[in-house]
Chain A
């Protein structure tokens, strides 16, 4: 089942390669079908998933027995929401990309390959496999930016590629460190968690921790490794930005929760304060720098730095509480919030980049925040959805972002009260930043230059409305999602303990 979900997009992509180059409609339909099938199957997976049942739908096959490499997939409460998020955002991105006609065949193939890579990262339970999927995501993203990107696409693509590649190498070393200290030798993540191979050797554990840290922190991206993100976002095509912000960044935080926290709890605990400080810097710094941006895409990119800072604060707090039974409750809460924020940020920021695309790709062809004004009169539907997404992003109660932030703050306040208080100031900056943006684009007198812009069309609504609905549903009543996450996080907090 998991293999099917993971490789269906790739199969669709390969099929597209075989189709005639001129038949655009057929290629698009195949892509749509492949991503839709993957999405529907992931929904079936939710239906079959047992809350509190631990790791499920596991598939284990011996792959390279000589060095104990298995083909091992599985999902739990941490990966399932991210899996569904991936299939959903990919599907919506395919819908949104309907008007791409430049080198369509390559575009769709790369896009579907990317989807398979991301899904693989979230379901792989063997480090070797994990690493392969991790690297697979790099390549299509590189080409998506480099071919379909904006004016400085080569620079941005290479920067993105090299930056993340450096991280990957550090991760590879850390993986090998774990591998060579395991007994019996294994790449299996679950086995490594059980074995805790570096538990007795603090120095090596620290080394492995920082190796993973570099890789994950670049991906998140944490301050000060974040500068590839604005460039990549600004140059990437809209769908690429959506996937980048919505899912690729989550791979980093996912790594922290899946790998660093359970495999190297002591090392993470030891350095949790450093991680938390970096997260705080990301929160306050990200919001302030976002405020000063005039390019809408950059603004959203920096707000991502800010939000991923919240996620990292929650994870760092949970790490700092490791081994302290009295704080296990707070740790579980913080982790719940962090994972919830991953999903929430995926939905909200995915929507925000689509929103930027709606304005930039087919209408105004500019993203300068100051060049608009008064669009609220001309584009009421667009204004409504944009406002809602921005309000969700600034953490308005009743929308998804608030639940995530609330849980993170409630959890981390029990562990890092002063850091949390500082992080809260980020909320004020966030609010000011987004409201100011709304004001500059939608409010005030109508800029006559845009007097003839049409409102959103059906296809654009189709890709945005589902996200808006999800923001509202999980914002009002988060339990369906939270129960899934909570079961896994409680187990994790228990393991850490």
Chain B
């Protein structure tokens, strides 16, 4: 089974081309083809996981290019990390695809949507299966491309087109660092294969400052893709895409890629002197987790709450990886994929019913949309970290690792956990409880093709955490582990603490938005400067517009003028100089050269005219001259 794993990315890739070319002529207008490909992939992934749990690994290579006398190989590999990621991408992906049938129903570019989604999945699966940095980079950029295409799917809306560019360019800035990192690694060890790079690290060929630098450069790519501070600004705007796209981006693909990259190349970070690179990862993650969570409190757009929640949770994953919690980070990546996909799709169901994203228009939807409400509540509890839902187990592990390896970050994480529970239940209360605030909406429960995936995801979100539960020996830890970093054993006190914090957050949200003992307006007035800061998202966008976009365009326009007038002006000046010289030459030619010629002619003519008189034609004259000449010669001879 492992030897045919290469077929996993190929299937959705083929689906992409099939749908692009044949579109509406395919079964289900292409949707069934895409879902079929993903479904087969999911089954294959489950089979692969079963074998990987049994301890099987696999690797295969092919020569992609020969440079000089050295072959550049690409290939794929199966190991526990890859097996887990395959499951996440294909299972979550399949459910999102199925859901999309309902959500995208009636869209004029319906087949195209499934084509792009298939390509998205194919790229992500390539990235996950790659056993070398080159192929990983190919998948990485492919994911970026698809996010561009899908965020801008409704490209008639200028905001969607802008958001798409923002996503691609912002992540590409990160990718440039990553590319330099790849070059640095290749330059130092002469290979892009993960196992050979790791051997070089262990043998000390890649060490010291170079190793830290290489790791941090790679991390630059992860910062872009996983929307970490300071390159997080693209993700909230990515909400312009259709909701299933958001679900796919936020859960299974794209943003997961950054965390996956760090996990995949963990030895580079771990091996850097004093874990220096890891410390950077941890702090970037911690800062991101807290900052994004605080912004999430003040958002009124239901999808934007989710977006900031994703950034914040990705921060937790990075933090987990950074504080030596390799398993914890990957575990959270997995659980988050399920409950965040659930939350997004449930939000999509709400939007589908309300035709708006604005939570101020919602309210009381719990009664009309019981399935959506129930499943979203499961997702919210998982996100808050309430046991026994999935998010509890993984977030608790991250906090546990932080507590042991980086106490300041533990407190950051704990505060973040409180805020997380607060904003997610603020969203739940605003959406589902109280009266319906919009007067022209007619909400209704979504069709089964949408609610069934919700229920499936809710089941996963409820139960998947148990694979990391301590009472049966924490099987996830023994499957996905990084041997050099021993994970910290379960600590009941910390678990109780984090549960209490989550419940406190929910309670606070209820105080303000359910029981309304405190009005949110008075809170806003009380903390006006803070509120302004949060509403403006810490002014990141304004900063970049001021410090990056405007100057770049300014320079570009100035350079254009420079090119037109200075460089081209110089060229034209040379041309003009030559034209003037030519004119000068013409005058010179006319008066000097030609004049000289004429002068010679004139002189010759004149001389001829004078000499004419010598040519008299009479022999007497000639004889006289000859005689005279003879006399002169004779006298000359005598005198000598």
A binds B: yes
Chain B residue at minimal CB-CB distance from A383: B155
From A228, A288, A428, contact of B571 by CB (8 A): A228
Of B44-52, B66-74, B322-330, B369-377, the segment with at least 4 beta carbons within 8 Å of chain A is B66-74
Per-position contact with B for A267-296: 1 when CB-CB < 8 Å, else 0? Answer: 000000000000000000100110111000
Do A444 and B156 touch (CB < 8 A)? yes
Asked if A444 and B158 make an inter-chain contact with CB atoms under 8 angstroms apart, the answer reads yes
Q: When the two chains form the complex, which single residue of A403, A414, A431 contacts B169, counting CB atoms closer than 8 Å? A: A431
- Say whether A130 faces chain B, with CB atoms less than 8 Å apart: no
> Is residue A227 contacting chain B, with contact meaning CB distance below 8 A?
yes
B65 touches A (CB below 8 Å): yes
Query: Does any Cβ of B come within 8 Å of A490's Cβ?
Result: yes
B138 touches A490 (CB 8 A): no
Are A227 and B156 within 8 A (Cβ)?
no
Task: Contact check, A479 vs B165: say whether CB atoms are below 8 A apart.
Answer: no
Q: Name the one of A288, A407, A486 contacting B556, with C-beta atoms under 8 angstroms.
A: A288
B183 at the A interface (CB under 8 A): yes
Q: Which of A301-347 contact B (CB under 8 A)?
A: 328-329, 332-333, 336
Query: A398 interface residue, CB < 8 Å from B?
Result: yes
A391 within 8 A of B: yes
Given A486-B66, A493-B68, A285-B183 contact (CB < 8 Å): no
Given contacts A228-B571, A333-B67, A490-B68, contact A292 B553 (CB under 8 A): yes
A490 touches B155 (CB 8 A): no
Q: State A443–B555 Cα separation when bound (angstroms).
A: 25
Q: Which residues 407-452 of A have a CB within 8 angstroms of B?
A: 407, 409-411, 413-414, 417, 420-421, 424-425, 427-429, 431-432, 435-436, 439, 442-446
- The interface size bin for chain A is 35 or more
Asked if A428 contacts B559 (CB within 8 A), the reply is: no
Check if A420 sits within 8 Å of B183, measured CB to CB: yes
A446 adjacent to B67 (CB under 8 Å): no
The reply to whether B176 and A424 contact each other, CB–CB distance below 8 Å, is: yes
List which A136-166 residues lie within 8 A (CB) of chain B. Answer: 159, 162-163
Q: A residues within 8 A CB of B162?
A: 439
A123 and B559 CA atoms in complex are apart in Å by 39
Distance A377 CA – B161 CA, assembled complex (angstroms)? 13
Contact across chains for B145 and A391 when beta carbons are under 8 A apart: yes
Is there contact, CB below 8 Å, between A483 and B66? yes
| Interface assignment of A368: CB less than 8 Å from any CB of chain B | no
Which range contains the number of B residues in contact with the other chain? 35 or more
Bound-state CA distance A226–B138 (Å) is 33
Name the one of A228, A377, A445, A490 contacting B69, with C-beta atoms under 8 angstroms. Answer: A490
In the complex, the answer to whether B560 meets A289 with C-beta atoms within 8 Å is: yes
* B601 at the A interface (CB under 8 A): no
In the bound complex, how far is the Cα of B145 from the Cα of A216, in angstroms?
A: 36
Contact A329 B65, beta carbon cutoff 8 Å: no
B161 touches A444 (CB 8 A): yes
Contact in complex: B66, A431 (CB < 8 Å): no
Roughly how many angstroms separate A421 CA and B553 CA in the complex, as a whole number? 21
Q: In the assembled complex, how far is the CB of residue B128 from the closest CB belonging to chain A, in whole angstroms?
A: 16
Q: How far is it, in angstroms, between the C-alpha of A167 and the C-alpha of B29 when the chains are bound? A: 58
Contact among B65, B138, B155, B559 with A479 in the assembled complex (CB-CB below 8 Å)? B65
Measured between beta carbons, the chain A residues less than 8 angstroms from B164 are 435, 439, 443
| B80 located at the interface, meaning its Cβ lies under 8 Å from any Cβ of chain A in the complex | no
Contacts of A446 in B (CB 8 A): 156
Tell me, rounded to whole Å, the shortest Cβ–Cβ distance linking A382 to chain B. Answer: 14
Question: Which chain A residues (470-495) contact chain B, with CB distance < 8 Å?
Answer: 477-479, 482-483, 486, 489-490, 493
Instruction: Report yes or no: B137 in contact with A397, Cβ–Cβ below 8 A.
Output: yes
Pick from B64, B152, B169, B179: contact of A477, CB under 8 Å? B64
Residue from B66, B68, B141, B568 in contact with A227 in the complex, judged by beta carbons closer than 8 Å: B568
* Chain A stretch 372-417: residues in CB contact (< 8 A) with chain B: 374, 376-377, 384, 391, 396-398, 402-403, 406-407, 409-411, 413-414, 417
A184 at the interface (CB under 8 A from B): no
Say yes or no: A292 contacts B556, CB within 8 Å. yes
A398-B142 contact, Cβ under 8 Å, with A439-B162, A479-B64: yes
| A479 touching B575, Cβ below 8 Å | no
Distance (whole angstroms) from the CB of B212 to the closest CB of chain A:
16
Chain B neighbourhood of A483, CB < 8 A: 66
Query: Which residue of chain A has its CB nearest to the CB of B169?
Result: A432
Tell me the smallest distance from the CB of A262 to a CB of chain B, in Å: 17
Tell whether A454 is near chain B: CB-to-CB under 8 Å. Answer: no
Q: Is the CB of B65 within 8 A of A428?
A: no
Secondary structure type dominating chain B contacts: helix
Q: Is residue A224 within 8 Å, beta carbon to beta carbon, of the partner chain?
A: yes
Q: Is B438 an interface residue (CB 8 A)?
A: no
Residues of A within 8 A of B63 (CB): 479
User: Given A427-B172, A428-B169, are A486 and B571 neighbors across the interface (CB < 8 Å)?
Assistant: no
Closest Cβ–Cβ distance, residue B543 to chain A (whole Å): 18
Q: Is B260 an interface residue (CB 8 A)?
A: no
Chain A residues with CB under 8 A of B524: none
Find chain A residues with CB under 8 A from B571 CB: 159, 163, 227-228
Docked pose: A321 CA to B386 CA in angstroms: 61
Per the bound structure, the CA–CA distance linking A428 and B224 in Å amounts to: 13
Q: Which of A224, A374, A428 contacts B173 (CB 8 A)?
A: A428
The reply to whether B183 and A397 form a contact with Cβ atoms under 8 Å apart is: no
Q: Which residue of A lies closest to B158 (CB)?
A: A444
In the assembled complex, which residues on chain A have CB atoms less than 8 Å from the CB atom of B179?
409, 424, 427
Find A328's partner among B68, B140, B570 (CB 8 Å cutoff): B68
What is the CB-to-nearest-CB distance from B112 to chain A, in angstroms, rounded to a whole number? Answer: 8
- Those of B157-207 within 8 Å (CB) of chain A: 157-158, 160-162, 164-165, 168-169, 172-173, 176, 179-180, 183-184, 186-187
Q: Are B138 and A397 in contact (CB under 8 A)?
A: yes
A-side contacts of B64, CB under 8 Å: 477-479
A interface footprint on B123-150 (CB within 8 Å = 1, 0 otherwise): 0000000000010011011100100100
Shortest Cβ distance from B484 into chain A, in angstroms? 30
> Known contacts A163-B571, A285-B559: does B169 contact A421 (CB below 8 Å)?
no
Give B139 Cβ to nearest chain A Cβ, in Å. 8
Does the CB pair B155–A289 fall under 8 Å? no
B68/A397 in contact, CB under 8 A: no
CB <8 Å contact, A435 and B560:
no
**Which residues of chain B are near A333, meaning CB under 8 Å?**
67-68
Which residues of B have CB within 8 Å of A429?
A: 552
Q: A410-B186, A445-B156 are in contact. Are A336 and B575 (CB under 8 A)?
A: no
Given A407-B65, A479-B65, A486-B68, check contact A413 B173 (CB 8 Å). Answer: no
B533 within 8 A of A: no
With A328-B68, A446-B156, A479-B66 as contacts: A397 and B142 at CB distance below 8 Å: yes
Contacts of A443 in B (CB 8 A): 152, 155-156, 158, 160-161, 164
Cα distance A397–B70 in the bound complex, in angstroms: 21
CB distance from A155 to the nearest CB of B (A): 9
Q: Is the CB–CB distance between B559 and A289 below 8 Å?
A: yes
Tell me whether B155 and A444 are in contact (CB under 8 A). Answer: yes
Give B contacts to A, CB under 8 Å: 20, 63-70, 134, 137-138, 140-142, 145, 148, 152, 155-158, 160-162, 164-165, 168-169, 172-173, 176, 179-180, 183-184, 186-187, 552-553, 555-557, 559-560, 563, 567-568, 570-571, 575
Closest 6 CB pairs of A and B: A332-B68, A443-B161, A397-B138, A227-B568, A443-B155, A292-B560
A-B contact pairs, 22 of them (CB 8 A): A159-B571, A224-B567, A227-B567, A231-B568, A288-B552, A288-B559, A329-B69, A333-B67, A336-B67, A374-B155, A374-B156, A398-B141, A402-B141, A406-B134, A407-B65, A427-B179, A439-B162, A443-B160, A443-B164, A444-B161, A482-B66, A489-B68
Q: A interface vs B, CB < 8 Å?
A: 159, 162-163, 224, 226-228, 231, 285, 288-289, 291-293, 328-329, 332-333, 336, 374, 376-377, 384, 391, 396-398, 402-403, 406-407, 409-411, 413-414, 417, 420-421, 424-425, 427-429, 431-432, 435-436, 439, 442-446, 477-479, 482-483, 486, 489-490, 493
Known: A163-B571, A413-B187, A429-B552. 15 other contacts (CB 8 A): A288-B555, A397-B138, A398-B142, A407-B65, A409-B183, A414-B187, A424-B179, A428-B172, A431-B169, A439-B165, A443-B156, A444-B157, A479-B65, A482-B66, A490-B69
